[in-house]
Amino acid sequence: MKVEREKFSETVDKMRKEGFDYLVKITAVDYGDHLEAVYMLRSIAGNKDETLEVQMPEDDAWMPTIIHLYKAADWYEREMHEMFGISIKGRRMDRLLLEKWDGIDPPFRKTFVWDTPYRTDEGKK
């Protein structure tokens, strides 16, 4: 299900009230011209899964937090912030979770340049 970023908070709020009480995963995809944040929600009692896809431009990447609804969002939002450079509005993030990336692109974006080449057998016989 595609959702606009402006309507995202109220959509999740509504779904939470409808019984989607379990957050499976938050992730993101870099499609080259835009970023997409993916929220997987589940209703355990109803045994239903729903995926919310939110598109955003690369140079204005932010998402509102949903940590007040799902505590599970805590680490997922931090991971998304570190790996995709999507900032999370409405919450504090005191420290980085996985790695410290200084002065480079967010590593999971397609613009990230690999330091070492794919094959490092140059110069070997």
Nearer of residues 22 and 62 to other proteins, judged by Cβ? 22
Q: Rounded to whole angstroms, how far apart are CA atoms 100 and 6? A: 30
Q: Rounded to whole angstroms, how far apart are CA atoms 104 and 4? A: 29
- The pairing of strands 62-64 and 87-89 is parallel
Nearer of residues 44 and 57 to other proteins, judged by Cβ? 44
Nearer of residues 3 and 38 to other proteins, judged by Cβ? 38
In the complex, the smallest distance separating the C-beta of residue 72 from other proteins, rounded to whole angstroms, is 3
Q: Rounded to whole angstroms, how far apart are CA atoms 106 and 101? A: 8
Contact set with other proteins (CB under 8 A): 21-25, 27, 29-30, 38, 40, 44, 47, 49, 51, 70-72, 74-76, 96-99, 107-108, 112, 118
